[in-house]
Amino acid sequence: MAFDTSSGYVPGQELDPSQPMFNIEHVQLQFAIASDFVAAEVANNVLILALSTGRILRIDLDQPADIDDIDLPKKPSETGIIKRLFLDPSASHLIITTTLADNYYLHSQSRSPKALSRLKGVAIESIAWNPSQPTASTREILVGAADGNVYEVYIEPSSEFYKREEKYLKGVYKTNDGPVVGLWTDIIPAHADFRRVIIATPATFLHFAGKVGRHGYEGSGSIFSKLFETESATIHEVGNVAPSVRSLLAISPEAPDAATLDHTHTERIFGWLTSQGVLHGKLYLSQDPSELGGKVLADSKMLPRTAIPPAQTASGRTKKSQDPVNSMILTQWHIIQLVEGRVVVINRLDETVVLDQVVLEPGQSALGLVADLKKNTFWLFTNQTIFEITAPDESRDIWKILLDAQQFDAASQFAKTSAQKDAVATASGDYLVGKGQYLEAATVYGRSTKPFEQVALAFIDNGEQDALRKYLVTKISTLKKSSVMQRVMVATWLVELYMAKLNILDDTITTKAELSESMNTAESQDQLSVIRKEYQDFVTRYKADLDRKTVYEIISSHGREEELLYFATVINDYNYVLSYWVQRERWPESLDVLKKQTDPEIFYKYSSVLMAHVPVDLVEIMMRQTNLDCQKLIPAFLNYNNITKARLNQNQAIRYLLFEINNRQSTDAAVHNTLISLYASADTEDESALLSYLKSQSYAHEQNYDADFALRLCIQHKRVQSCVHIYSSMGQYMQAVDLALKYDAIDLASSVADLTTTDPPLRKKLWLAIAKKVISQSSGIKTAIDFLRRVDLLRIEDLIPFFPDFVVIDDFKDEICLALEDYSRKIDELKREMDDSEETARHIKEDIKALEQRYAIVEPGERCYVCGLPLLAKQFFVFPCQHAFHAECAADWVVKLAGSARGRRIRELQVEVGRGMSVGGKRERAIRELDALVGSACVLCSEMAVKLVDEPFVKETDDREEWAL
């Protein structure tokens, strides 16, 4: 079984067939039904159909092939035919009432309706479901009866047979003017324990709002009793109610665009169908609960019965009598009424009829109109037929209606196309200008396409400069990026307007005059801050649309220093800002600008003047930069050093250069040379700082400075220690000692002489030069002798040529005697060494003679240590260690263990001797050379045997059992 919708069934005539706002589509049933429909409900895309046989069909419209067929516990003859169905918005709970006032409850998870025993005999006319829309239970709901009673009931499904479905049932209110045809309750936001309750009868509309009672746990007792006992209703009554006239209460569905929001916080529309027409209005939420009912009814309107067009007779004439309204539902913007066999749709804002269509055939009756409050769908049911009323473009003309009603903000929200939005904006602007609200009109005009010159002239003619400024700001935000000229012109005009406004406010504050009757000086000061902030936001946002030169000229002509600098800062023209402050010698401001810069060219340009006035702060800023070329800062450092006489430990140029060298490991010779220049030219005799730098370069085995330049500079400024160090680092020790001696720096010269430990002749030469200087400066022989004792390299005879001719030998005879004694000891040592050498030579001769008589005994059967064959079978070698080898075996081992050159020579000699090509003395020499190479040492005992250390004792070719233990 399934549903099939078809839009081809249109028996009536639509008002606008080309673009229908509403369509009525016939839903074809794809399954057979043996009996008629007697009631129907739709909620959350679930359709409930009650048949005259007592069956209930539950159909999920998302899966129409899946249909639940449910029977009541009793037959229709026992309980009555189903009269009404009440389905909660979530489609979780269904209450069924019959013609005999039997009531049943069915949960969405169940297929067995349960009798509501406490509600037996209650003819239910309406139900107000709990606004929280629960699924496990109904929680507290209100039930309206045909006798005017309103009951509160709490229904919870139970699987236990003896347990009732209703936890409790209590009468909470009683009307005296007929059945309760409509009930509604919702939550008032920001008041969790407050409820609104609407009760509708054919003659009375009652609006309650107040606090509900509390209870210990769910289902323990009534919560609405307190509301009805303590609160009085806001009432609207109608007279001359005919008993046969249908009356009901309808509530609009949830807004489609609020599907993901909390539905309890959306304002809905109510419609109360009476004999006079439909009373409709908004169910406000954001009101004081005590005034909520008065607000709702005060803003409601009555759609009279006369708004429904009269029907046409078969002959085409208009009926004089008014057809009764059988049913009514609400959409977001329209009221749908079933008038006899016609469906009439009326816009509730302007009461225009948008659809008047005959749907039912003559003699066909309808069950009524039903709205799905969750899914925003609308249905018409007859005894055998289902129609769906669709609204594909319901809000199409809402903007126009709201515009005609001068509700411009609301109209703007519902305007969809650009032409619609422009029409709303233009009309809204004209309306505001007519009322003198120029500032409000400026924003509206800015979003419209009304000619620019008309709007601008209108504001100018009325002296509304503020409105003009606001209009231009709005207008430029709507201009396309491609409209370059328009954007530039509007943006430039705005700069002029901002400057003029700021000047007016400044003048007001300065003269302490009032700008208008309602504005004093304090207010002018506040407005000045506001306008300045607006200007700053404007130039920040639209800086790309502003011509730099033009804006500079405009702002300068108004004398607005702060605004000028702000604009330059925004467009990153820091060169202009910095130049501005430097020219005025505003050093703190200059440094503030410099702190924000990363462009090295700005630092190079202004470093000289800033080093002259704020060197400490400038160096701090530069040390935080990572992209500066120190070479380009050197002129500024030299200029600073010339005009300032700061001490070395306070010299900021030196501070920065050391930072470059030590922290950034600069190896640039220009940087190092500049540092040496600053050190050398310092107005102090202390050269420890310079010397420390030079030594650090030596310790690091570096010399990043130009030694010749540094030497000339140190000589020029008489930095002796530094000069000596540079000479020494260059290896020019003689020049270093001469320079030190030139300035009588004996200790310095001595330290240089001690550096030449690897060159004894040079070291002696240096010490002789020092000794000569010492002797020439000493006042007596004793000083020279003391110096001689410090140096172990010189002797008294070396110093004698430096003494003057008139020196008496008695003054240093002791030293001469000591020298002679030393010579005597050395002569004796040489004699002993000669005697030892002679004795050694004698022993060597004796050993050589003994070797000539040495022999070795070879026993019969002795074998070669290499091949293991009898030794006497071939030519052999016997060594003093008693190892014996065949000559060939020994040669093979020597080739294997000796170097490649020696092995190759042995092979060559073996080939030469073996071929017999050499004759006479040449062959004898070859044999002797071969014997000398092979038999020079035993291969097992000599140094060659060391190469056998990594070979195993037992080889793979040996018999391993021979080595077994």
CB atoms within 10 A of CB 817: 11
Within 8 A by CB and 6+ apart from 229, the residues are none
| Sheet of strand 204-211, all strands in order from the earlier edge strand to the far edge | 182-188, 191-200, 204-211, 234-237
At residue 489, the pLDDT reads: 93
Mean pLDDT by 10 residues, the chain (965 residues): 42 47 82 81 93 91 84 90 94 94 92 92 95 84 95 87 80 93 91 90 94 67 90 91 88 72 68 94 86 92 90 69 87 92 91 90 89 93 91 82 77 79 78 78 80 84 86 87 90 90 83 54 78 90 90 89 86 82 84 83 86 87 87 87 82 87 86 85 81 80 82 84 81 78 73 67 68 63 60 56 55 62 77 86 80 75 85 82 85 80 80 68 80 80 73 68 64
Q: Quote the CA–CA distance of 577 and 584 in Å, as a whole number.
A: 11
Q: How many other β-carbons are positioned within 10 Å of the β-carbon of residue 298? A: 10
Minimal CA–CA distance to 496: which of 468, 519, 515?
Answer: 468
Helix, coil or strand: residue 501 = helix
Which pLDDT does position 14 carry in this prediction? 38
Q: Are strands 103-107 and 124-128 parallel, antiparallel or unpaired?
A: unpaired
Measured at the CA of 142, the angle between CA 136 and CA 143, to 5 degrees, comes to: 110
| DSSP state for residue 937 in the 8-state scheme | S
Report DSSP letters for 608-656, one per residue.
HHHHHH-HHHHHHHHHT-SS--GGGGHHHHHHHHHH----GGG-HHHHH
Q: Where are the alpha helices (DSSP H) in 213-262?
A: 224-230
Cβ(278)–Cβ(272) under 8 Å? yes
Residue 11 confidence (pLDDT): 36
Domain residue spans in the chain?
397-463, 479-571, 871-963
**Which tokens in the block code for residue 936?**
């020079």
Would you list the DSSP string of 288-343? -HHHHHHHHHHT-EEEEGGGSPPPB-TTSPBPSSPPPEEEEEE-SSEEEEEETTEE
Among candidates 834, 886, 837, which has minimal Cα distance to 865?
886
Contact 652, 646 (CB under 8 A): yes
Reduced 3-state DSSP string for 388-408: EEECCCCCCCHHHHHHHCCCH
How far is it, in rounded angstroms, from Cα 360 to Cα 26?
11
pLDDT value, residue 216: 44
pLDDT confidence of residue 2: 43
